[in-house]
Structure 1
Amino acid sequence: MGKIFLLFLFFLSFSFLHGYFALDAGTIDGSEQWGYVEVRPKAHLFWWLYKSPNRVEDPSKPWPILLWLQGGPGGSGVGLGNFLEIGPLDGHLKPRNYTWLKKAHLLFVDSPVGTGFSYVEDESLVVKTDEDAATDLTTLLKMIFNGNENLQKSPLYIFAESYGGKFAVTLGLSALKAIQAGQLKLQLGGVALGNSWISPEDIVFSWAPLLKDLSRMNNNGLNISNSLALNIKQQIAEGKYENATSTWEELESVIAKYSHNVDFYNFLFDDGNGPISATKQFKGLARIDRYSRYLSTKKSSTAGAGGSDVDLYSLMNGPIKKKLRIIPENVTWGGQGYLVFPAMRGDFMKPRIKEVDELLAKGVNVTVYNGQVDLICCTKGVEAWVQKLKWDGLEEFLSLDHTPLYCGTDKTTTTGFSSSYKNFSFYWILGAGHFVPAEQPCVSLQMVGSITRSPN
């Protein structure tokens, strides 16, 4: 009985910071830590930190920490990003060969509240804007970093996927403000935007022309789609963001109809037949808010990059929940996911180009990376918003030649291209769709090492 009690004390600890409450736990060897932070009364964010076994002690190049923000909004980084894309284990709990843990410590957060294992005790507490989500995340970072001098020595890189890009740029600015005010003890290494929904207008204008060029759509579909895209542009200009979200949903239906159900995650395939969407978790889901709508069903299964099916819902609410110990009995992974997207409808189509410009102007390193065959956040649309930046280095950046990328020592197969000028970089990843780390893991891992300046 005494030993059990001592182990319980080891695994669980309680702490208070600036009026916020945290419940933390971890593995006995300290290689993993996780916990809840009550970022607002009755609003709880869940986080999970993996410490890299590959860490290299190099004072000139501190070992980085990588914060992963999933898309949706409403996608679980703790579940999807961790077990399906970059974490140390895949959905079968087998070691992942190209885990990003080889280059950095990994910090996953289920954000916004209501996502994954994060929860609210009152449904009115779900966030409605990207800025609100950033404020909650900044509060969480204060709790994790301010009392830990070891973590403070490591630069934090905010990596995002899909809608997570909007969270990343707003968090970057919020964290920077807190750092400068002395409220957050943290080194911000940079922000990386993967297949990100930074400018919805530019992206939706790219869909139909891209599909027409690919022989996937005729002129009828092109004209109808362009008309809806023009409506979206006007609605955004007038600040009618919820109306723009409704028109976006209509446009996606038109794209699906006139392309004969193209896979939004990989335009080379029909919906549900792509290398990722063919897996059960993503099958039949045709919107950028698929994550949150999937989570609200509480039933679906998936495959990791390895191929065979994995029941992620059962994994997260079975062995993982049991391991974590601190998840309340009445909280299920994904149990509140259905709350997130509806609450954010008014912010969903709002652009965040200005925030990218602000980060660049403040000297923050910003990286954009995109999968070649993604449609939902296609490279054509991403390049369009990049060209709208007011950053003073844009003209020079656009004039650069691309540098080819290869996987390891194999110089016979080009896996991507990159360009970099001052504190802005762009990576074009060939053969990848929306989920770059899962579809091109080798070159993705090399990219992460370059972005984070990992000494390994």
Structure 2
Amino acid sequence: MVKIPPFLLPLLPLCLLLCFSLLHRADASGTVDGSEHWGYVQVRPRAHMFWWHYRSPHRIENDSSPWPTVLWLQGGPGGSGVGFGNFFEIGPLDNNLKLRSSTWLRKADLLFVDNPVGTGYSFVEDTGLFVTSDEEAAIDLTTLLKKLYNKHESLQKSPLYIVAESYGGKFAATVGVSVVKAVKAGELKLKLGGVVLGDSWISPEDFVLSWGPLLLDVSRLDKNGAENSNSLAEKITVQLKKGLNRDAERTWGELEDFIASNSNNVDFYNFLQDDDSSGSITTVGSYEESFARRYSRYLSIKAASSSSSSSSGNLHDLMNGAIKEKLKIIPKNVSWGAQSDDVFDALRSDFMKPRIKEVDELLSQGVNVTIYNGQLDLICATRGTEAWVQKLKWDGLTDFTGANRKALYCDGNEAGATKGFVKSHKNLHFYWILGAGHFVPVDQPCIALKMLGDITHSPATASSH
């Protein structure tokens, strides 16, 4: 037993406080200039979620129009927002650590989270701690937001926009509802600016039903192929109505395999292209097994093709090398993305469940809901998104449907090419983005940035006019 000298006893409380502070700070760090902060939140015992916050250098202080914050939620499930969203889509640097001219920091602060636990740098110490439903993921993410926001007044002043892509849209809808409840209960000090659903997997049933007709229209399936696709999609509909979610998920894998083999491997993220990663996919069910891997591979190919550097910008090497070294607080035994496949596996029973009800609840609560869709997306096809929107019970739906669309141009240049359309009524907004596939910020960065400014009412947008 260690004996403490008597003259040190009066200093013991201060020492303990300092030790506690150092232990706490070991879970968080940041840059010297305060432009970046990152850290871990233990959302449950032995379940650790990683976050990374960027303060925009373009920030404009305006009390009447506060500077917004975007919380980016990646898809998969198992896709890393800290990795993919940050370095491939909207962060300040690309995957070759070169400055990105179209970074969303031009319009907002950015908060990337590796959600759910097990994704990216987030990790669990016990495999039984992976979330098995979107609701469980929402609880964890709300816990993280409470830890970040409740003690930081600067964050509280910035309205939060939850922006999602792909399966991340299901997380956004559920966490949006959770945040509204927590704020009303006084448990979370946060101003929710809105929820933004980008090419989001909100209603799997409506998407699979859209695939056959769409691929027939663009000549990637013939009449026989479209009919067989429709037959499998209708089988999924029946399975979902019976609550056979795992069976529906297996049939979904079978349907994707059928489409791949009968379309000569159409790209599910851009139906005008071939899927370069499909050559090795030959067995039924392999599409569902490799969904998270294909998601990663596609972004890697896009990033490499659009990069000015000759480097391929391998994200796995970057995240487990230079970025891990920069962050310093990632445990040595944690490898970026090592548990991502387990995240997907744990959520299989929820994968095909719709989240239309949650979108309805957000609208009824007065939350601004924005939907945007890339014209060339197949996995979350625009016609599928339009179909699930028509299932909303929101009382403004009829007026929304009857409203006129407005054409969109990049940088407000109406003499240029049409880049998209937007329709709004009350707190529901829908953007059609032309020339983009599943990854809108990658395919159409200019119009995506303009859209973000309009959604968030960023002071930077106002000052640019």
* Alignment pair present for 1:25 and 2:29: yes
State which of 104, 108, 112 in structure 2 corresponds to 1:108.
Answer: 112
* Alignment pair present for 1:336 and 2:339: yes
Matched ranges for 1:179-218 at <5 A: 179-218=183-222
Contact 1:72 1:290 in 2 (8 A): no
More helix as a share of residues: 2
Alpha-carbon distance in 2 for matches of 1:160, 1:314: 25
Residue identity matched to 1:306: S
Q: Structure 1 pair 424/189, CA: closer, same or farther in 2 (3 Å)?
A: same
* Alignment pair present for 1:272 and 2:276: yes
Tell me the SS of whatever aligns to 1:303: helix
Q: CA deviation at 1:224?
A: 1.2
Q: What's 1:320 paired with?
A: 323
Q: CA deviation at 1:428?
A: 0.3
* Alignment pair present for 1:347 and 2:345: no
Q: CA deviation at 1:205?
A: 0.1
More displaced, 286-295 or 365-374? 286-295
Q: CA deviation at 1:218?
A: 1.0
Matched ranges for 1:220-239 at <5 A: 220-239=224-243
Q: Structure 1 pair 13/60, CA: closer, same or farther in 2 (3 Å)?
A: farther
Alpha-carbon distance in 2 for matches of 1:426, 1:289: 32
Alpha-carbon distance in 1 for matches of 2:177, 2:45: 24
Matched ranges for 1:389-400 at <5 A: 389-400=392-403
Contact 2:257 2:287 in 1 (8 A): no
Tell me the SS of whatever aligns to 1:215: coil
Number of residues paired by the alignment? 430
Residue identity matched to 2:390: Q
Q: CA deviation at 1:289?
A: 7.3
Deviations 1:407-429 (A, max 9, x none): 11432210000011100000000
Contact 1:74 1:291 in 2 (8 A): no
Alpha-carbon distance in 1 for matches of 2:302, 2:432: 27
Matched ranges for 1:84-233 at <5 A: 84-233=88-237
Deviations 1:94-125 (A, max 9, x none): 11001001100000000111100000000110
Deviations 1:2-50 (A, max 9, x none): xxxxxxx9xx95549xxxxx81110011100000001000000000000
Structure 2 runs not aligned, ≥5 long: 1-17, 280-284, 461-465
Alpha-carbon distance in 2 for matches of 1:70, 1:288: 18
* Alignment pair present for 1:429 and 2:430: no
Q: Percent identity?
A: 62
Q: What's 1:358 paired with?
A: 361
Tell me the SS of whatever aligns to 1:25: strand
State which of 308, 313, 316 in structure 2 corresponds to 1:310.
Answer: 313
Q: What's 2:380 paired with?
A: 377
Alpha-carbon distance in 2 for matches of 1:43, 1:250: 33
Tell me the SS of whatever aligns to 2:349: coil
Alpha-carbon distance in 1 for matches of 2:425, 2:295: 40
Q: CA deviation at 1:199?
A: 0.2
Deviations 1:320-370 (A, max 9, x none): 000000000000111111201111010000000010000000000000000
Residue identity matched to 2:365: K
Q: Structure 1 pair 150/128, CA: closer, same or farther in 2 (3 Å)?
A: same
Contact 1:14 1:24 in 2 (8 A): no
Alpha-carbon distance in 1 for matches of 2:294, 2:364: 38
Q: What's 2:63 paired with?
A: 59
Alpha-carbon distance in 1 for matches of 2:187, 2:161: 19
Structure 1 runs not aligned, ≥5 long: 1-8, 17-21, 279-284
Q: CA deviation at 1:301?
A: 7.2
Give every structure 1 segment of 4 or more consecutive aligned residues whose post-TM-superposition deviation is greater than 6 Å: none
TM-score (norm 1): 0.91
Alpha-carbon distance in 2 for matches of 1:29, 1:332: 28
Tell me the SS of whatever aligns to 1:98: coil
Contact 1:75 1:291 in 2 (8 A): no
* Alignment pair present for 1:39 and 2:40: no
Q: CA deviation at 1:306?
A: 2.6
State which of 71, 75, 78 in structure 2 corresponds to 1:71.
Answer: 75
Alpha-carbon distance in 1 for matches of 2:391, 2:22: 48
Alpha-carbon distance in 2 for matches of 1:135, 1:341: 18
Tell me the SS of whatever aligns to 1:269: strand
Q: Structure 1 pair 179/248, CA: closer, same or farther in 2 (3 Å)?
A: same
Q: Structure 1 pair 98/292, CA: closer, same or farther in 2 (3 Å)?
A: same
Alpha-carbon distance in 1 for matches of 2:412, 2:238: 49
Alpha-carbon distance in 2 for matches of 1:169, 1:320: 30
Q: CA deviation at 1:268?
A: 0.5
Alpha-carbon distance in 1 for matches of 2:334, 2:291: 18
State which of 423, 429, 452 in structure 2 corresponds to 1:448.
Answer: 452
Q: Structure 1 pair 41/117, CA: closer, same or farther in 2 (3 Å)?
A: same
Q: CA deviation at 1:272?
A: 2.0
Alpha-carbon distance in 2 for matches of 1:302, 1:328: 30
Contact 1:256 1:262 in 2 (8 A): yes
Alpha-carbon distance in 1 for matches of 2:370, 2:205: 21
State which of 393, 406, 409 in structure 2 corresponds to 1:406.
Answer: 409
Tell me the SS of whatever aligns to 2:51: strand
Residue identity matched to 1:427: Y
Residue identity matched to 2:429: S
Q: What's 2:15 paired with?
A: none
Q: CA deviation at 1:219?
A: 1.7
More displaced, 95-104 or 285-294? 285-294
RMSD: 2.1
